[in-house]
Each structure stands twice: as structure tokens, then as C-alpha cells.
Amino acid sequence: MIFKGNTQDSSKVGGTATHIKVINRPAVSGTHQTFKEQVLGGSEFGRESNLTTLNRDATTPLLQVLGKNGIDYATFAQVANQKTVRVVPVNGATPDAGNYPYKRQLYYAYKNPPSQAVKDFLGYATSS
């Protein structure tokens, strides 16, 4: 697996022979933690020389360091409309498909009883 450092050449995963540059999000990132749990099965990321962990969890700097041979994981909404990257399907499914295997649930938490501002926000957030 690329993110564990086992595969460092893109020819091993169907590409042309190029060294793969892995860009990792910092451990404090929720996306990092979810990827580690769901994709790596709780295992650690590799420590190979081709893996760079960013200091802060921000998409724009991440996209800037990818280059032509970089790979990263991201929240779909962060990269869906980016022109400089492409989303790689997993088992033929893209993140906007119902059968995409990697998803995380996010929740809103609020103190009961909710204030009117909270009610208004929840109404907006759950509307079409």
C-alpha cells in the first residue's frame, strides 16, 4: 500500500514508472484519523523518505506540494471542483456515489434546550 510505504513506484499500481510522493495530513486532522482507521485499519502511516507530513491541515498548501507525482487523501468536498487534481475511484466508485466504501459521519452537538439561533442553524443545515 502506498500510504504505508510499501509501494513507492507508480508502475506497481498501474501507472508509468515514477517515484510516488505521498503527502500526509498532520495527526490532529480528522481526515487523517478517519483515513488511518478506515483505510489503514488502524495501522500507522509509513515512515519512508517519499512521505511528507504537513504541519497544518489545509487543502490549498497540500495541493501546491503534490506536483505531478503526488498523492494524498482528502475530504471530497475539498477537492471535487479543483482543476489541478483528480479523484481516484475505489473499486470503480467515486466519493459522490452511494457505494463508495470510505465515509464518515459528522454530527452537530448542542446544549438542550437549543437557542433560537441553534434552531435556525439546524433548520438551514438540514434543509435541501
Query: Which pLDDT tens digit goes with each residue over 55-78?
Result: 999 888 888 899 889 999 999 988
pLDDT at 39: 94
**2-102: CATH architecture:** 3-Layer(aba) Sandwich (3.40)
Nearest residue to 49 via CA among 69, 80, 70, 21: 21
The model scores a pTM over 0.85: no
| CA–CA dist 22, 5 (Å, integer) | 9
For Cα atoms 87, 31, 49, give the angle at the middle one, nearest 5 degrees: 80
pLDDT at 104: 87
pLDDT of 106 > 90? The answer is no
Letter string b/e over residues 117-128, b meaning 16 or more CB atoms within 10 A of that residue's CB: eeeeeeeeeeee
**pLDDT tier at 16, thresholds 50, 70, 90:** confident
With a pLDDT cut of 70, the percent of the chain lying above it is 100
Distance of CA 81 to the CA centre of its chain: 15
**pLDDT tier at 13, thresholds 50, 70, 90:** confident
Average confidence score pLDDT of the chain: 91
